Amino acid sequence: MNGIIALDIDGTLTHDISSISPRVLDYLHGLQGTGWTLMLLTGRTFSFAHRIFSRFRVPFYLAVQNGAEVFAMPKENRVYSHFMTRNDVRTIDTLLSPFPESYLLYTGSTCGDFCYFRPQAFGPEMLSYLKKLEMISTSPWKAFSSFDGVEGEGFPLIKYFGTRPVLFDVQSCIDPLRFASTCINDSIEKERSMLLVGHPLATKGHALRELVRRFSLKGPVIAAGDEMNDLSLLEAAQYKIAMEDGADELKAIADIIAPPAHKEGIIEALDHIMKTFF
């Protein structure tokens, strides 16, 4: 069967940050062997996602940081990227200045996925958490006090932390500029919320549509996810899977509700689609 299966990673394929079930992996390998094109999409950086995709033994496409960069794997050939410009980030930096704390500015895979951050703008508890994030990066982070200290011309993602009310206020402030923005729970500390901001075309849904267009892929499109940054992904698919413990907005448009990732629910959901529709 020819078609595309586009899957979120955290909370859909995996229930922890560092592993994927061998049974899920074997199941996906089997689908690829029957002609399905696999695409994995994540809010993770390329280096952070590596611990998951390095276990795949078949070709697939990988979209990182919500579609800011897309790669053909396992050769790690970049298909395209959608980065915010320096002027974009400077504008966002100015808009965010009245809000509490600060943000992380990601630099992309070619720079080792390091972040710029303002340590003086974060409290001790937040700095301790940021240290965990820095350990995932393949390059040391760089502190800055003003935006003039930031180098580079393109940036895949801004990550802003805070309470949900503050994040929604920040999002409302940014929305008129038409950047892609979505509020999700952190994959490392589930109780922590963050706002992801990127290029207007850096969404999982656009990444899927663009892959289909660029490579003239044919056949049905199946997508699965659990968080709000997966909403555009499901909207771009013909067959939609939402995880049982995921966001209500996804479940509202899903064709199938899958058991959670710790029960390997993606297998049950995909198997149901295969047997019902194909």
181-209 pLDDT, tens digit per residue, is 999 998 888 789 999 999 999 999 999 99
Task: State whether 55 and 141 are in the same domain.
Answer: no
Question: Are the C-beta atoms of 230 and 183 separated by less than 8 Å?
Answer: no
Question: Are the C-beta atoms of 181 and 151 separated by less than 8 Å?
Answer: no
Cis amide bond preceding 74, omega within 30: yes
**E strand or H helix at 265, and its extent?**
helix 265-277
Domain boundary among 158, 175, 198: 198
Side chain identity at residue 95, one-letter code? L
Task: State whether 35 and 137 are in the same domain.
Answer: no
Output the domain CATH number for residue 190.
3.30.1240.10
Task: State whether 156 and 97 are in the same domain.
Answer: yes
Task: State whether 92 and 159 are in the same domain.
Answer: yes
Q: What is the pLDDT of residue 172?
A: 95
Domain boundary among 165, 198, 231: 198
Predicted TM-score (pTM) of this structure: 0.95
Task: State whether 179 and 212 are in the same domain.
Answer: no
Sign of CA dihedral 197, 202, 205, 207: negative
Q: What is the pLDDT of residue 239?
A: 98
Task: State whether 146 and 48 are in the same domain.
Answer: no
Burial status of residue 236 (CB atoms within 10 A of its CB: 0-12, 13-18, 19 or more): buried
Task: State whether 65 and 117 are in the same domain.
Answer: no
Q: What is the pLDDT of residue 112?
A: 85
Task: State whether 154 and 136 are in the same domain.
Answer: yes
Tokens for 264, please give them: 């390997």
Distance CA 9, CA 73 (A): 15
205-240 pLDDT, tens digit per residue, is 999 999 999 999 999 999 999 999 999 999 999 999
Domain boundary among 198, 215, 239: 198
Task: State whether 240 and 224 are in the same domain.
Answer: yes
Task: State whether 190 and 242 are in the same domain.
Answer: no
Task: State whether 106 and 242 are in the same domain.
Answer: no
Q: How many CB atoms lie within 10 A of CB 10?
A: 25
User: Beta strand pairing status for 103-106 and 60-64?
Assistant: unpaired
Distance CA 213, CA 20 (A): 29
Structurally, how many domains does the chain consist of?
A: 2
Output the domain CATH number for residue 219.
3.40.50.1000
Show the domain range for 12: 3-81+202-277
Mean pLDDT, consecutive 10-residue stretches, the chain (278 aa), reads 94 90 97 97 92 90 98 96 96 91 91 91 91 84 88 94 93 95 89 95 98 96 98 98 98 98 98 93
Q: What is the pLDDT of residue 243?
A: 98
Task: State whether 59 and 101 are in the same domain.
Answer: no
Strands (E), the chain: 3-8, 36-41, 60-64, 69-73, 77-81, 84-85, 103-106, 115-117, 142-143, 154-155, 157-161, 180-185, 193-198, 221-225, 239-243, 256-258
Tokens for 204, please give them: 């999982």
